[in-house]
Structure 1
Amino acid sequence: MLKRGVDLVVCIVALPVAGVLMALIALAIAIDTPGPILFVQRRTGRDGVRFPMLKFRTMVENAEELKASLQHLSIVPAPDFKVIDDPRITRVGRVLRATSLDELPQLLNVLVGHMSLVGPRPTSFAPATYSLWHTRRLEVRPGLTGLWQVQGRTGLSFDERLRLDVRYIDHCCLPVDLWILAATVRSVVQRGGE
């Protein structure tokens, strides 16, 4: 209950400022490329329940259809997918990704209870694709940020990220969450200044 309370207080305090920033980002996306402002993707949450996760759109409108044609360029093993200099990413999208501002709409996911501020990042693939030990991550709400975002980011394999998720679940407490939030802010600021 304490974790949920912290989530709600932080979101309510942050939303007035975040709302203005989100309006400006929405305008930039609309000017840059045609298509919806938000990208809504089904993600796997607590207990394996799928939910609509919100992000600002950072790719061209038909990015999902183009994914299959780029699969051979992925630098990470399935089920993950990552292409260096992905041609589907828009100009505004590059800035949003570099600063993690594309994740701001997930404050709404936190408000409604689909997500927490801190926890394992929700996957886009269904729980049926998980190995049995992977399902430990489904015991908690997924997070806007998590341990692997501040200890390795995308350079880790899915199994390595899962091990960090399990370590977080085993040691989850308010001081750990506050440390991860502070480390996330530091990481975003440092990357934004590169």
Structure 2
Amino acid sequence: MAHLLHIDTSSRQEGSVSRELTRAFADAWTAAHPDGTVTYRDLAVNPVPYPDMPDLATSTLPAGQRPEHLEDSFAITDTLIEELEAADTYVIGAPMYNFMVSASLKAWVDRIVLPGRTFDTETRQGKLVDKDVTIITSRGGSYAPGTPRAGFDFQEPWLKAALGQVGLDDIRFIHAEMTLAKVMPKLAQFVPLAEESYDKALATIKSLF
């Protein structure tokens, strides 16, 4: 049965562009898979604790050998990875904060990149394979190739590198840019570009189904 994992990370509830677009994706996916299952996780409303394993060796211990005081932490990580394993399609909303992803998304990534569980410790091959992955970003400015701030995009390259470790090496990125144009007077001239970028992102989402 088709299974979608839908993750939001924006600190904004109302007016969040990334939330609007991930919802559009989830709605389109559900329409295309009426018998499918959706797992939803909001990392802004319910952030996962930052990983607290004291060292790499501890993180690879099997269940029966884990220190008792870390069981709750392991349980959180196990749940997050089980969600990834169960789903065949992922959509992740990732607003850009200071040229990067949110702290809540970073903590999630740091938990799901787990030696022995999501990638082989000997071969370094990722185990989360054959997944359809879409990451929808929202960006206050423009970081498209050729723009003055193109070199400040540490978001997409980092996500590719970090998630590639677990086998998610074919990620579809959909960017909605210039989102601050409508709320910052000095960027008002870029409102048409913001609307064009949003409409293009929405059209891309619809074209997937």
TM-score category of the 2 structures, normalised to the smaller one: under 0.3
- In our comparison, the structure showing a higher alpha carbon Rg is 2
Q: Which has the higher strand share?
A: 2
Q: Give 1 or 2: higher helix fraction.
A: 1
